[in-house]
Structure 1
Amino acid sequence: MTSADPAGASVVSINGDAPASRNTGRLRSLTDVLVETDEKLRLGQIAGARVWPTGFDALDIALTGGFRSGELVLLGGPQGLGKTAMALQMLRNTVAANRSGVLFSYEHDAHGILERLIAIEAGAIAGAEAAGLAKIRAGFEARHSRAKSMRERFADTQGGAEAVDALESYGDRLHVHTSSGMHTTLDAIRASVMQIIETDGRAPLVLVDYLQKVPVPGGLNEDERVAVVVERLKDMALELGVPVVAIVAADKSSLVAGRRMRVNDLRGSSALAYEADVVLILNDKYDIVAKHHLVYHLGNAERFRHWVVMSIEKNRNGADHLELEFQKRFDQGRFEPEGRVVEEQLIEERVYRE
């Protein structure tokens, strides 16, 4: 006997005498799940969650491999600390590892993203001596160059030409959606992700920059809008089997020098903390390190300014309340990917717990 549930999925009634038919609706018997899992294992397929590595070694260890299918990941922090740079570098890392990714950019156009990606790639190839973001931009803006291609234009830069080659090698797996705060709704995001899955045959890492920019009709206040967006992004992650990484703006009251930003400082509804599977918060190390490290070791002050601390405030599938640090390479629009656990004592404030 077949009926329909309120969500429109078919529901199959199962009697005790006949084997259950395969059912792909929302309501399923455990037998169906067992059969499907055994079939995947028999075919040599992955039966558990799929994992997209971030390429930041210390973070991937803490996350037991990276971001997982069905997860909603929030990345927050004060303005100007490199949230977009870090998220874009994660996206670059995952497609360079032969995965697929899509960026919904409410802040930058496609060419601006290209400039950033060339700088990130050049840094990955040539290290600290690589061409910086300013030089990449200047190369594009030069009006009297005889170069007829990007590779020729960056031929005399450290890592620039090689970066263009690298982008061309994985460019068909990295998608950029120039999003609009008026028109790129949650439905538009979902439709684009589904199109990529159908076209590429693989589920992408989804990056939304940034969450508070996603429009929601209906005249809601900001807390209500944020609650709708975060809930719908989580639903999409589960339904389509993709990890969704959303950059989140900070509440203005938290943007105070010397104050450690935590999950409760993210701008919008408390649903941010409860809906997310992983919450990552960036802080400037100089601002949040315990002051005795500065008072008694004056040389630390300048050194700490070159590092950002990433706090894993929440992690449903691994370690949380863990502080990692990554070295800034802001001239190249990136961070050094190795990272390490913070050894120094940090200032503490209230921490969100489930």
Structure 2
Amino acid sequence: MDHQLMTVGASLARSDERMLTGRNAAGRVWKTGFGGLDPLIGGGMRAGSLLLLAGPQGLGKSTFALQVARNNAATGRPVIYFSYEHDAEDITQKLLAMEAGELDESDQVRVNSIRSIFDDLWVSSLERRLDSVPSGTEALERLTHYSEMLFVHRSTGTRTDLAAIQAAITAVREVAGTTPLVVVDYLQKVKSSHADAEARSTEIVEGLKDLAIDIAAPVLAIAAAEKDALRSGKRMRASDLRGSSALAYEADVVLVLNNKFDIVARHHLTYDLSNAERFKDYAVLTVEKNRFGRDGVVLQFRTRFDQGRYEPEGAEVKEQLIDERVFRD
């Protein structure tokens, strides 16, 4: 029988086998590790689903995606991170800062201090260099624990197409013994045979959706925004994704990040000026589309970009939000 064909009876038998062996929930869902988000999207990122993460430039989309990747690798599940903009050493530095930032109660860890250790010319081991960073050696221990489960693919727009992504996933599966969570940073950089931007984005998003189904694992892809959506004071929505309407149509979940200060209603700033600086430290994550639950839900997460991370516990936004601010400071 054609391997693409399956009767409903065979599907029922497969599902029953998973439930009897206790593999059903664990094998089908990958947690993001962000409090408040996982319950909204069906318990986490579901096998065969495509999730898009969008937001204005500089709002930490890569940081969020890398934190999701790290959260899964730390549980012992393999992850492959297709990085079109950063090499493995840069990602390693961010991971060390993330780990140290979570461990350090003195709140002194900074990404820049981690980077300076890598760039310093004095000859010494990484462990010894990290002695100068608060919780540095403990962070290295944490990272070492899951380092063999997080695979970084140095991707380029001239070489890394959908076929290359599939080949890399197959290679990781052979090494790790199971299918990895796939993170693509970012979608519009994936090599395509089309010159037209709309045709390119359609090809890639459809290909990533097919890939997620074929490998029975989630694909989390960062999506770029149209230029008009990048200006300060405008709330980015799913309709602002760069490329074709296929992006939002093909995706199972669309998550959009915005800076809280840019999209909160004016009266929250006018009558309490102390809110202005506080809101700048929070990113608002909107579940714009959700095939596994309720959409339109808005969560907020505190940003710690100085430490290369988000604080993982989110909460629903209580303040009134608007699509576009009509004033500037």
State if a TM-score over 0.5 links the two structures.
yes
* Match in the other structure for 2:46: 68
* Match in the other structure for 1:171: 147
CA shift, 1:130, in A, is 4.6
CA shift, 1:250, in A, is 0.8
Greater alpha carbon shift after TM alignment, 86-95 vs 42-51:
42-51
SS, match of residue 318 in structure 2 = coil
CA shift, 1:319, in A, is 2.2
Find the partner of 2:295 among 304, 310, 320: 320
Asked if 1:119 is matched to 2:97, the reply is: yes
State the AA in 2 paired with 1:99: R
Structure with more contact order per residue of length (Cα contacts < 8 Å, sep ≥ 6):
2
Q: What is the CA deviation profile of residues 107-161 of structure 1, one whole-angstrom value per residue up to 9, with x for unaligned ones?
A: 00111111111111111222561521100001111112x42x2111111211211
Distance 1:106 1:332 in 2: 22
SS, match of residue 81 in structure 1 = coil
TM-score (norm 2): 0.95
1:130–1:160: 8 Å Cα contact kept in structure 2? Answer: no
Asked if 1:194 is matched to 2:170, the reply is: yes
Distance 1:160 1:114 in 2: 13
Find the partner of 1:83 among 61, 67, 80: 61
Distance 2:26 2:245 in 1: 30
* Match in the other structure for 2:36: 58
The structure-2 alpha-carbon separation of the partners of 1:98 and 1:130, relative to structure 1 and needing over 3 Å to count, comes to: farther
Distance 1:179 1:332 in 2: 25
The structure-2 alpha-carbon separation of the partners of 1:157 and 1:260, relative to structure 1 and needing over 3 Å to count, comes to: same
State the AA in 1 paired with 2:153: H
SS, match of residue 89 in structure 1 = helix
SS, match of residue 58 in structure 1 = coil
Q: What is the CA deviation profile of residues 242-274 of structure 1, one whole-angstrom value per residue up to 9, with x for unaligned ones?
A: 110111111001122111110010101100000
Distance 1:276 1:128 in 2: 41
Distance 2:11 2:254 in 1: 30
State the AA in 2 paired with 1:195: A
Find the partner of 1:35 among 10, 13, 21: 13
1:102–1:175: 8 Å Cα contact kept in structure 2? Answer: yes
Find the partner of 1:310 among 282, 285, 296: 285
Asked if 1:242 is matched to 2:220, the reply is: no
The structure-2 alpha-carbon separation of the partners of 1:231 and 1:42, relative to structure 1 and needing over 3 Å to count, comes to: same
Instruction: Structure 1 unaligned segments of length 5 or more: list them.
Output: 1-9, 12-24, 350-354
SS, match of residue 131 in structure 2 = coil
* Match in the other structure for 1:258: 233
* Match in the other structure for 1:233: 208
SS, match of residue 282 in structure 1 = strand
Distance 2:161 2:105 in 1: 38
Distance 1:127 1:225 in 2: 46
TM-score (norm 1): 0.88
2:35–2:313: 8 Å Cα contact kept in structure 1? Answer: yes
Distance 1:320 1:293 in 2: 25
The structure-2 alpha-carbon separation of the partners of 1:40 and 1:59, relative to structure 1 and needing over 3 Å to count, comes to: closer
2:80–2:183: 8 Å Cα contact kept in structure 1? Answer: yes
Aligned-pair identity (%) = 48
Distance 1:230 1:191 in 2: 17
* Match in the other structure for 2:116: 138
CA shift, 1:34, in A, is 2.1
* Match in the other structure for 2:180: 204
Distance 1:128 1:83 in 2: 26
* Greater helix content: 2
Distance 2:16 2:237 in 1: 42
Distance 1:37 1:297 in 2: 54
The structure-2 alpha-carbon separation of the partners of 1:47 and 1:142, relative to structure 1 and needing over 3 Å to count, comes to: closer
The structure-2 alpha-carbon separation of the partners of 1:130 and 1:97, relative to structure 1 and needing over 3 Å to count, comes to: farther
Aligned length: 324
What RMSD, in angstroms, separates the aligned Cα atoms of the two structures?
Answer: 1.5
CA shift, 1:41, in A, is 3.1
State the AA in 2 paired with 1:92: R
SS, match of residue 75 in structure 1 = strand
Distance 1:256 1:36 in 2: 49
Distance 2:285 2:99 in 1: 22
Distance 1:210 1:115 in 2: 20
State the AA in 2 paired with 1:292: H
